[in-house]
Amino acid sequence: MQAATPKRCLRKSCDPEGYFMADKVCCPGPLSNQGGATASGGAFREAVCVHTSKVYDSCRSKECLRDIRVYLTREAQDMLNSGGIASVKPRAADLLCVKIDVEPVQFNRGLYSVDSRFFYRIECEVSCAVGRPRIIDGLAVFDKRVMLFGGEGGARIFSSRYIEDGSDVQLRPNSNRPTAVVEVVDPIMLDARVVEPEASCNCCCCALRDVPRPLCSCFGGDELVLTNDGYQLFVTLGQFSIIRLERDIQLLMPAYDICLPRRDCSNSNIGGETDPCEVFSNFDFPIDAFFPPRGERADCLFTGAAGVNGASTGCGCRSNNGSGCNGSAR
């Protein structure tokens, strides 16, 4: 017999007009049959307290990053400066990493600014007036800022790791401040072009000042040219991303039961032999191989094409005067 939910775990909740609504579970423990019924006909077994990350706010973006400067390697920059570039084609773009910084917004409680810097490795194919095409690569950077709600307050968290027959290891103090998460799919290369020195921007505000050291190894140890001298390569990228703010929190959630794997892998045939006929018995009979399905234009070959089987009208021509697809009269 299932135990009833203790009264101390139930709390009356009211709607805005003051009317009492259904009892609300406010502490872990077994659930009664009345409080655990679901739309699918099942019943929740108990209410469990789960420590997880709750998404407080999020946003998505579909952006066309137009004319992003590519900081080429020394070898690639020297090739562009030599002149004679006939054309440049986009080849590949790889997202190396994203640097994220979260800061509270002044005079807006609970609101945070999320600054993200995306680092891309760009590959392009350059065709010269003389010689075969060559592949050049470099680093592209894009900065993005969004405002998201992350809640108020922040508690300091101290924890330890259990050590048997010894003093527990004290872990580094933490807090439940909001954490930013950026999800990005692979960028799409849309366009690439080379700009002459006279038409490029030579101001110091457009130059990349420093590059994280781990990213330098992505270019084979070659030096990146960060100055604005000489020819410059610009690319246009298409990017899809999702940015969200999370906080660690304890949530009370309904649970059906424990999660027990249904698949039995105790007999995994390790060190033994598998019966080939038993494996073959799991194959489906190849009906399509014996009876190929008809295509969309199969009927046209037998029941309506002009000039075929004596038909006067066809699927493709729709002629009313009895003429065929080539315009000749019958």
Range of the domain at 129: 69-248
Say which DSSP state 95 is in. E
pTM above 0.75, yes or no: no
Together in a domain, 131 and 40? no
Q: Using CA atoms, how far apart are residues 29 and 2, in angstroms rounded to an integer?
A: 12
* Contact partners, residue 263, CB within 8 Å, separation at least 6: none
Domain boundary among 216, 248, 280: 248
**275 domain-assigned:** no
Q: Using CA atoms, how far apart are residues 111 and 260, in angstroms rounded to an integer?
A: 41
Which residue, 246, 217, 238, is CA-closest to 142? Answer: 238
Number of neighbouring beta carbons within 10 Å of residue 226? 13
Query: What residues does 201 pair with on adjacent strands?
Result: none
pLDDT of residue 263: 76
Is 313 within 8 Å of 307 (Cβ atoms)?
A: no
Q: Which two tokens stand for residue 156?
A: 């300091």
Q: Using CA atoms, how far apart are residues 146 and 241, in angstroms rounded to an integer?
A: 12
Q: Which whole-number Å values give the CA distances from 40 to 33, 43, 259, in the listed order?
A: 14, 9, 19
Pairing of strands 160-161, 169-170: antiparallel
Q: Which two tokens stand for residue 84?
A: 């004679």
Together in a domain, 164 and 15? no
Nearest 10 degrees: CA dihedral of 275, 278, 283, 289?
A: 80
Together in a domain, 100 and 14? no
Is 168 within 8 Å of 162 (Cβ atoms)?
A: yes
Domain boundary among 255, 277, 300: 255
Q: Which two tokens stand for residue 318?
A: 């729709």
Q: Using CA atoms, how far apart are residues 81 and 234, in angstroms rounded to an integer?
A: 15
Which residue, 215, 151, 142, 204, is CA-closest to 179? Answer: 151
Together in a domain, 80 and 21? no
- In the chain, the number of structural domains is 2
pLDDT of residue 109: 87
**283 domain-assigned:** no
**264 domain-assigned:** no
**195 domain-assigned:** yes
Together in a domain, 149 and 223? yes
Together in a domain, 75 and 129? yes
Q: Using CA atoms, how far apart are residues 288 and 112, in angstroms rounded to an integer?
A: 58
The length of the chain, given as a count of residues: 330
For residues 257-283, one letter each, b for 16 or more C-beta atoms within 10 angstroms of the residue's C-beta and e for the rest, the string is eeeeeeeeeeeeeeeeeeeeeeeeeee
Q: Using CA atoms, how far apart are residues 113 and 107, in angstroms rounded to an integer?
A: 13
Which ranges in the chain belong to alpha helices (H)?
Answer: 74-81, 213-216, 276-280, 287-290, 300-303
Together in a domain, 110 and 181? yes
Together in a domain, 98 and 156? yes
Residue 65 parent element (H or E): strand 46-72
pLDDT of residue 144: 94
Q: Which two tokens stand for residue 79?
A: 């090739």
Pairing of strands 134-149, 46-72: antiparallel
Together in a domain, 97 and 157? yes
**132 domain-assigned:** yes
Per-residue pLDDT of the chain (330 residues; tens, 9 = 90+): 444 444 445 555 444 444 444 456 666 667 765 555 554 556 778 888 988 889 999 999 999 999 999 998 888 888 888 877 778 899 999 999 999 999 999 888 889 999 999 999 999 998 887 778 888 899 999 999 999 999 887 788 888 888 888 888 888 887 778 999 999 998 999 999 988 876 555 554 556 777 777 787 788 777 888 888 888 999 999 999 999 999 888 888 888 888 888 877 665 555 556 778 887 888 888 888 888 887 655 555 544 444 444 444 444 444 444 444 444 444
Which residue, 262, 222, 173, is CA-closest to 75? Answer: 222
**235 domain-assigned:** yes
Together in a domain, 94 and 154? yes
Instruction: Decide: helix, strand or coil at residue 76.
Output: helix
**140 domain-assigned:** yes
How many helices (H) and strands (E) in the chain? 5, 14
Together in a domain, 85 and 172? yes
pLDDT of residue 187: 93
Together in a domain, 45 and 87? no
